[in-house]
């Protein structure tokens, strides 16, 4: 079993390396050598790459301090009283640090390939839409295969390391220590998502409001001082941040299933490590799926991307049936209930299908091919106010269908296999993670390619091709956000169950799982506080974007006002200053939301004990899940309503209708790219943090309640 998992992990990393070499070996200026366009492309590509790496370097300095400090806190506060000879805190801290390192490495790999593939996609578009598509897709594949390969390698590696360091320790304690790996991944994801979201939206809002609305120049126009920062932000937020987020989901859902199933499968290695196997199996399946991508002309692009997800889901379902029958015993018992391997497979299948359906429903509400977005665009005819009203209404409405699908994906697996089934369903939703990440990372590469085409003046035909790629990427990005939110909700619920399971094992006399009662004032109070947290968190991140955008707007206006020749194209804007403003704002503003999310469960658990923490987790899960879906879909709808008008509908560019849609899109930017995605991490991080710190809550918690 272990050899199989290692083989799959190294297969993923090997495939990622092949795709990396394939993309990076393409000459940067292929097809435009020794031209003025080539000079501009080299300069712009270099500026984007330097800006992206400079931000990561600055961000990672902050993260190193956090990792060291929080690892010490874990080592000091966590200790299982059942094992007096072993300090679990030290080993949990090791797991935590490994999770942090792999999450950071995943983000770096994604950022690196995105900044390599963007310009090469632009030059490939000069040849054909198909060539450009494959360069962008292959760039995304580096992220997809590399991240999942690292996740599987990390999970197997930390398991074997802990087995060696803690010989003879009970499996459920080992898995609880291993949960630190998921905490590390999710902690880094919080910083990456929040800081990345603030960076990209500060630049985007500043560029749009001053450039497009006030100056009337096109998007990605090289005369706009914020345009390089905007392109850097696409990579920072949508590649590094997104990669860390989904790595965290994979690690956390796996750790939750491992904790819940540890007692039942203590003597059966294949069954014990089955949750890791689900992700591992996805790697060869995704490789086969990638060969099915076929594009010849523009109309093939969007269907090709969507087809990859559908094929990957179908193949995974078939293969996982046989894997489930092999790895799991025909029948087993968890928490006194009897289940079968078929029950677990059906739980997995429910999660996989629900994830795909949530993604497709998200597409319906965020693509301008369908009625809801066109209604938002139509509302722009009467001004920005009605555009915003319709966009908000769309987000609220869209949450209903997705939540009902997720409710079904909770009820069915729970009925089949209890909370273990729910945890497996969460992993099932992520079973096509390689393909999902590939498509997600493809989007920013294609978006950057369009910006580079505009800034280098490569002509309308090239920009039209990159716009087709970008439009398809926006659609699949919306689907990806649906996956991310859905998996976050299921993962959080599984972690919640693992939290209560661990609390019961640590304090059997309290019967905590049976005693959680909505009428308990501690639980009820925690419920309300938890329900409030996503709203306070969203307010903080949105204000952060607003503050950063204000600084960016002032700087862009200053440059237009004080640098002669910008509008005439005879003088070059100070791009680096705008990148520095976004970087400084992102790093400054990411701290308070992080303290709120990580500090609240710890403080509540210390002062009021486990029941209050349970209320916090339940409240933040429910309200955070709904708010995340509504925010992401409203933002996506505003964005694509603007793009629908820019295609020549309802009067096209430059009209009052278009200006109203740009305002709506600007309002939607922090909804879909900052607050919305970060809420995924909020619900997961609160739960995994509480799971890891259960021993602390049991031993020292409830200070004010006796």
Residue 544 is predicted with a pLDDT of 86
Cα maximum dimension of the chain: 78
* Residues paired with 333 in a beta bridge: 338
Q: What is the pLDDT of residues 176-234, one digit of tens each?
A: 899 999 999 888 888 888 888 888 888 888 887 788 777 877 777 788 888 888 888 87
- Of residues 442, 444, 441, 448, the one with CA closest to residue 44: 448
* C-beta of residue 613 within 8 angstroms of C-beta of residue 525: no
* Residues paired with 379 in a beta bridge: none
- Statement: the pTM of the whole predicted model exceeds 0.85: yes
Tell me the C-alpha distance between 606 and 695, whole Å: 11
Please report which confidence band the pLDDT of residue 706 belongs to, taking 50, 70 and 90 as the band edges. Answer: low
Determine the average pLDDT of the residues in 469-489: 77
Structure tokens at 90: 């030290």
Q: What is the pLDDT of residues 268-294, one digit of tens each?
A: 989 999 999 999 999 999 999 999 988
- Of residues 379, 257, 140, 362, the one with CA closest to residue 691: 257
- Of residues 675, 693, 682, 540, the one with CA closest to residue 620: 682
Region of residue 571 (left: phi > 0; alpha: psi -120 to 50; beta: else): beta
DSSP secondary structure code for residue 107 in this structure: H
DSSP secondary structure of 454-490: HHHT--HHHHHHHHHHHHHHHHHHHHHHHHHHHHHHH
Q: What is the pLDDT of residues 580-618, one digit of tens each?
A: 888 888 888 888 888 898 999 999 999 998 999 999 999
Residue 271 is predicted with a pLDDT of 92
- Of residues 478, 500, 452, the one with CA closest to residue 617: 500
Please check the confidence at residue 100 and state whether its pLDDT lies above 90.
yes
- Of residues 472, 140, 138, 479, the one with CA closest to residue 298: 472
> What is each CA distance from 193 to 93, 128, 201, 338, 701, in whole angstroms?
23, 34, 12, 40, 31
Tell me the C-alpha distance between 329 and 484, whole Å: 31
DSSP secondary structure code for residue 648 in this structure: T
Tell me the C-alpha distance between 316 and 625, whole Å: 26
* C-beta of residue 660 within 8 angstroms of C-beta of residue 387: yes
Sign for the CA dihedral angle at 367, 371, 374, 376 comes to negative
Structure-model confidence comparison of residues 108 and 387, the more confident one: 387
Please report which confidence band the pLDDT of residue 526 belongs to, taking 50, 70 and 90 as the band edges. Answer: very high
Structure tokens at 131: 């060539």
* Residues paired with 334 in a beta bridge: 337
- Of residues 458, 653, 481, 616, the one with CA closest to residue 537: 616
At residue 338, the 3 state secondary structure works out as: strand
Tell me the C-alpha distance between 609 and 92, whole Å: 21
Tell me the C-alpha distance between 424 and 494, whole Å: 9
Q: What is the pLDDT of residues 327-374, one digit of tens each?
A: 999 999 988 889 999 999 999 999 999 988 888 898 899 888 899 999
End-to-end CA distance of the chain: 47
- Of residues 243, 248, 253, the one with CA closest to residue 186: 248
Helix/strand/coil (H/E/C) assignment for every residue in 351-378: HHHHHHHHHHHHHHHHCCCCHHHHHHHH
Considering 148-157, 204-213, 449-458, 563-572, the range whose residues carry the highest mean pLDDT is 148-157
Structure tokens at 212: 């497009």
Question: How crowded is the C-beta side of 323, counted as CA atoms within 13 Å?
Answer: 24
Determine the average pLDDT of the residues in 641-651: 89
Angle, CA of 364, 369 and 370, to the nearest 5°: 45
CB atoms under 10 Å from CB of 123, counted, come to: 28
Please check the confidence at residue 80 and state whether its pLDDT lies above 80.
no
* Helix 171-206 × helix 575-589 angle, to 10°: 140
Query: Within 430-459, where are the H helices?
Result: 433-456
DSSP secondary structure code for residue 262 in this structure: T
Tell me the C-alpha distance between 642 and 434, whole Å: 31
Determine the average pLDDT of the residues in 289-317: 89
Helix %, strand %, coil % of the chain (to 5):
85, 0, 15
Residue 643 is predicted with a pLDDT of 86
CB atoms under 10 Å from CB of 389, counted, come to: 15
Query: Which residue's structure tokens are 């920072």?
Result: 236
Structure tokens at 572: 């070059």
Q: What is the pLDDT of residues 47-79, one digit of tens each?
A: 888 888 888 888 888 889 999 999 999 999 988
> What is each CA distance from 639 to 202, 299, 504, 661, 670, in whole angstroms?
16, 21, 47, 8, 11
* C-beta of residue 467 within 8 angstroms of C-beta of residue 142: no
Q: Among 116-125, 444-453, 608-617, name the one with the lowest average pLDDT.
A: 444-453
Task: Extract the runs of DSSP E, i.e. beta strands, from 472-605.
Answer: none
> What is each CA distance from 403 to 407, 460, 484, 619, in whole angstroms?
6, 42, 13, 15
> What is each CA distance from 631 to 366, 501, 683, in whole angstroms?
11, 32, 15
Q: What is the pLDDT of residues 380-428, one digit of tens each?
A: 999 999 999 999 999 999 999 999 999 999 999 999 998 899 999 989 9
């Amino acid at each position: 079993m272990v050899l199989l998992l290692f083989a799959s992990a190294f297969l993923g990393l090997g495939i990622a390396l092949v795709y990396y070499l394939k993309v990076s070996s393409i000459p940067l200026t292929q097809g435009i050598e020794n031209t003025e366009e080539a000079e501009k492309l080299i300069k712009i590509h270099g500026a984007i790459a330097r800006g992206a790496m400079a931000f990561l370097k600055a961000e990672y300095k902050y993260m190193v301090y956090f990792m060291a400090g929080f690892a010490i806190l874990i080592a000091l506060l966590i200790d299982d009283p059942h094992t007096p000879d072993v300090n679990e805190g030290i080993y949990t801290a090791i797991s935590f640090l490994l999770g942090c390192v792999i999450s950071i490495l995943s983000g770096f790999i994604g950022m690196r390939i995105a900044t390599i593939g963007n310009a090469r996609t632009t030059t490939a578009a000069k040849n054909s839409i198909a060539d450009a598509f494959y360069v962008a897709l292959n760039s995304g594949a580096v992220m997809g295969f590399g991240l999942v390969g690292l996740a599987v390698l990390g999970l197997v590696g930390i398991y074997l390391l802990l087995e060696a360091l803690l010989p003879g320790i009970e499996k459920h304690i080992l898995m609880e220590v291993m949960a630190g790996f998921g905490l590390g991944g999710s902690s880094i994801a919080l910083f990456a998502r929040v800081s990345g979201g603030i960076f990209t939206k500060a630049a985007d809002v500043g560029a749009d409001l001053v450039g497009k609305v006030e100056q009337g120049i096109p998007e990605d126009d090289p005369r706009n001082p914020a345009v390089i920062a905007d392109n850097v932000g696409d990579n920072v937020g949508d590649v590094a941040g997104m990669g860390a987020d989904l790595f965290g989901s994979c690690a956390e859902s796996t750790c939750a299933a491992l904790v819940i199933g540890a007692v039942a499968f203590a003597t059966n290695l294949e069954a014990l490590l089955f949750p890791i196997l689900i992700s591992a199996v996805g790697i060869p399946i995704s490789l086969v799926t990638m060969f099915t991508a076929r594009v010849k002309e523009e109309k093939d692009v969007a269907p090709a991307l969507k087809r990859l997800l559908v094929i990957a889901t179908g193949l995974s379902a078939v293969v996982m049936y046989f894997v489930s029958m092999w790895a799991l015993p025909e029948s087993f018992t968890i928490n006194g209930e009897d289940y079968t391997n078929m029950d677990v497979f059906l739980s997995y299948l429910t999660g996989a299908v629900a994830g795909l359906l949530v993604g497709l429903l998200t597409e319906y509400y965020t693509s301008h091919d369908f009625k809801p977005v066109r209604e938002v665009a139509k509302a722009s005819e009467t001004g920005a106010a009605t555009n915003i009203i319709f966009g908000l209404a769309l987000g609220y409405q869209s949450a209903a269908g997705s939540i009902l699908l997720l409710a079904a994906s909770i009820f069915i697996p729970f009925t089949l296999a209890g909370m273990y089934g729910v945890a497996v369903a969460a992993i099932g939703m992520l079973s096509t993670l390689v393909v999902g990440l590939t498509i997600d990372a493809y989007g920013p590469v294609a978006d950057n390619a369009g910006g580079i085409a505009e800034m280098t003046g490569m002509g309308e035909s090239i920009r039209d091709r990159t716009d087709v790629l970008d439009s398809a990427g926006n659609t699949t990005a919306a689907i990806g956000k649906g996956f991310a939110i859905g998996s976050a909700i299921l993962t959080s619920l599984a972690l919640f169950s693992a939290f209560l399971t661990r609390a019961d094992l640590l304090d059997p006399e309290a019967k905590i799982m049976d005693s959680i009662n909505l009428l308990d004032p501690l639980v009820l109070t925690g419920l309300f506080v938890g329900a409030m947290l996503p709203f306070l968190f969203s307010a903080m991140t949105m204000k952060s974007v607003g503050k950063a955008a204000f600084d960016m707007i002032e700087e862009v206006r200053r440059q237009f006002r004080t640098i002669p020749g910008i509008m005439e194209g005879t003088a070059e804007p100070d791009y680096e200053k705008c990148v520095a403003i976004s970087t400084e704002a992102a790093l400054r503003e990411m701290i308070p939301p992080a303290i709120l999310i990580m500090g609240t469960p710890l403080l509540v658990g210390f002062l009021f004990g486990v029941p209050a923490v349970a209320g916090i987790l339940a409240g933040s899960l429910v309200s955070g899940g709904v708010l995340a879906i509504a925010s992401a879909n409203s933002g996506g709808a505003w964005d694509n309503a603007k793009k629908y008008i820019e295609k020549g509908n309802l009067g096209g560019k430059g009209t009052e209708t278009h200006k109203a849609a740009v305002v709506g899109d600007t309002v939607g930017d922090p909804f879909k790219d900052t607050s919305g995605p970060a809420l995924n991490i909020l619900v997961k991080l609160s739960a995994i943090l509480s799971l890891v710190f259960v021993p602390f809550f049991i031993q020292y918690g409830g200070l004010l309640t006796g």
